[in-house]
Structure 1
Amino acid sequence: MSELQSEFFAGWGGTRLAVHRLGEGRPVLLLHGLFSSAEVNWIKFGHAQKLADAGFEAIMPDLRAHGQSEAPHEPDAYPEDVLVRDALALVQTLGLEDFDLGGFSLGARTAVRAVIAGLAPRRLILAGMGLEGLAGWAQRSAFFIDAIDRFDEIKRGDRAYFAQAFMKTQKVDRVAARLLLQSVDDTSSAALAGVTMPTLVVCGSDDQDNGSAPALAEALPEGRYAEIPGTHMSSVTQRELGEEMVAFLAG
């Protein structure tokens, strides 16, 4: 069994970003969700280990303002699509040419936009994402910005209570997170025509946070849908997520 390796690379503008690697074999670049980390989404619940056991190398950055990566407070550090720029920088730094790509929630959104920006993975995995979510970032972003702005006054029963609790658990840098939220762009349904590689859309049975996952799979030229147990928060903890990822990539 290979050991987890962690290192740092220069993201867009020189921001110091962490990347964690597990396994030996075909590279799979995995992008985690908002307020999360590579540890929480991919490592803690065994998904990366399943990939490693199946002969893949899981390459898992902590997005800027997340995990062990830097969280700059300067607005200039968050231009439009900065997460896409960081992903492109990582692919270039590691010299990845023949690889797969996946993401959960914000990571899925970033993966789609990275493909539209020119990345060409062999296969693509979009987890915790639906069709409406790709084009409706403004509304979702506004919810989280509101939670940040009212952070100290949110009480149990408030619609933002669970977002506040998750930010507390993850020790989110709220200044950096607020700037990052404003850097993310929408992706129109028409733009999905450019996502031509085989794509797995995998989503919890009770997860409607980002709209319809089956509709997203239907809208993609080579999309397929897999349902796993859970809500948006709990589906990433389910063993079925890693199992579906391995089955798709190894198929």
Structure 2
Amino acid sequence: MAKFTTWDGLELNYTVWEGEGVPVVLQHGVVADTNANWMSVGVVAALQRAGHHVISLDARGHGRSEKPHDAARYSWRAMADDVRALYDHLGLDRVAQVGYSMGGIVSLLVATADKRVERLVVGGIGCGVVDCGGIDWRVIESGDIVTAMTADPAEIVPNARMFRILADALGVDREAIAMVATGLNEAPIESLSDITVPALVLAGDADPFAAEPERLAAALPDARCVVVPGDHLAAVADPGFSAALVEFLK
């Protein structure tokens, strides 16, 4: 693990596993972190076995990164700029960018703006990107996640309950996550046509947040879709998720 100071002065944590070839940069989902989203479910291990050089960033407000209790410090663009700042910090000129859920939206923004991205993998998102410009707010609203972090569990809507369960299991700073959700209440994706690099869309067959992932893949100029068993939390742990990721990055 290491830390660097990003573009607006926050200190962010990242982890590097040495390997060969184009670095694979991982960005996790909301509430989660490097360990919960990538290490504990076997994704990092699968990439290591394939010989990849792997880098994972703890997003602002998450993991071992700084967690300001100020919604103004959180936005989709800020998180995308953090990923690009990490590229700069490490002197990366070629990357394969991988993101899940929140990290999937962030990765789409990075790939739109940064020519260093040569391959793109997004998981845990689907047609909401096409229809809503980002997270599928027809399934969950940012306010639902705020409530999940701050209210009595009995007041949490079903689709947000998993985020409270995950937050309590990981012992996260729930106030910081509430500020993250407050800041991420916009629809940042205006167009996908500029993402011309080869892309892979990965989704669980029971994930309400990644409905119709084939429509997202079809909206990207050069993408394909793989569906694995599982809901939003379980899909990334399915062996088929890591296998599809590794196969795509060959």
State the TM-score, normalized to the length of structure 2.
0.89
User: Using the alignment, how far apart are the partners of 1:174 and 1:60 within structure 2?
Assistant: 22
Q: Kindly provide the amino acid, as one letter, of the partner of residue 20 in structure 1.
A: T
The corresponding residue for 1:155 is 154
Alignment-mate amino acid for residue 207 of structure 2: D
* Structure 1 contact 24–56 (Cα < 8 Å) conserved: yes
Q: Which amino acid aligns with 1:24?
A: G
Q: Does the 8 Å contact 1:81/1:183 carry over to 2?
A: no
Tell me how far apart the structure 2 counterparts of residues 63 and 112 of structure 1 sit (CA, whole Å).
Answer: 15
- Inter-partner Cα distance in structure 1 for 2:188 and 2:223: 16
Deviation at 1:158, TM superposition (A): 5.1
Residue equivalent to 1:98: 94
Change (3 A) 1:195 1:168: same
Q: Which runs of 5+ in 1 are unaligned?
A: 1-5
Instruction: Give, in angstroms, the shift of residue 175 of structure 1.
Output: 2.3
- Specify whether residues 120 and 211 from structure 1 end up closer, same or farther in structure 2 by C-alpha distance, changes over 3 A only: farther
1:59, CA displacement in angstroms?
Answer: 0.3
What amino acid sits opposite 2:237 in the alignment?
T
**1:1-251 equivalences in 2 (<5 Å):** 6-26=1-21, 27-78=23-74, 81-133=77-129, 135-137=133-135, 139-150=140-151, 153-155=152-154, 159=158, 160-184=160-184, 185-188=186-189, 191-250=191-250
| Paired residue secondary structure (1:20) | strand
Distance 1:80 1:125 in 2: 18
Structure 2 CA distance for partners of 1:52 and 1:176, relative to 1, 3 Å = same
Deviation at 1:182, TM superposition (A): 3.0
Partner Cα distance (2:75, 2:49) in 1: 38
Matched residue SS, 2:125: coil
Aligned partner of 1:200: which letter? L
Alpha carbons of structure 1 residues 129 and 76: separation in structure 2 relative to 1, 3 Å:
closer
TM superposition outliers: structure 1 runs of 4+ over 6 Å: none
Superposed CA RMSD in Å reads: 2.0
Uncovered stretches (5+) of structure 2, i.e. residues with no partner: none
Is contact 2:76–2:106 with CA below 8 Å preserved after alignment?
A: no
Question: TM-score, length-normalised on structure 1?
Answer: 0.89
SS at match of 2:4: strand
